[in-house]
Amino acid sequence: MEIMQSQKLANVLYDIRGPVLEEAKRLEAQGHRIIKLNIGNPQPFGFETPPEILVEVVRNLPTSQGYSDSQGILSARTAVVQNYQSRGIDITDVDDVWLGNGVSELIQVALNALLDEGDEVLIPAPDYPLWTAATSLSGGTPVHYLCDESNGWMPMIEDIRAKIT
């Protein structure tokens, strides 16, 4: 019996591995410094976990011998709310906070929950390949808008307006 790939994957590309990564490894082996934007790990770029969250993670380790609440550990969600509030961002309800095993899981869950077949999703270009792949896999249609490299990669508002249907 032959196992066939789902037709859902026909339009899904996920190029953070494969030829691009192989070329990066080749250049790195030659001594070139490579900034790896394909890994999705914010830590190498200076994004550290807020101290409030680390405290709650450590505090909960003794009782974390199984699955947590599907929305995330309450005390960790509370720490997220407190962190945003300390920065002047108005988030007051821990029930509005969802935690997952990295952003990839949550992007996929959100797109599966929100998209119907053919729904268009505006995605910045260049993009993190997961955004396009997850949109396609969820039945959506990726619509890429341009970002201005000379202006710190800010979205080009006129291009966004032109892409809205």
Q: What is the mean pLDDT of residues 29-47?
A: 82
The pLDDT, as a whole number, for residue 16 is 66
CA distance 31 to 9: 36
HSE of 96, CA atoms in CB hemisphere, 13 A: 7
pLDDT tens digits for range 48-97: 888 988 998 899 888 877 888 889 889 889 999 999 999 999 888 999 99
Q: What is the pLDDT of residue 159?
A: 98
Q: What is the pTM of this model?
A: 0.65
Q: For the chain, give every domain's residue range.
A: 12-47, 49-99, 101-165
Mean pLDDT of the chain: 88
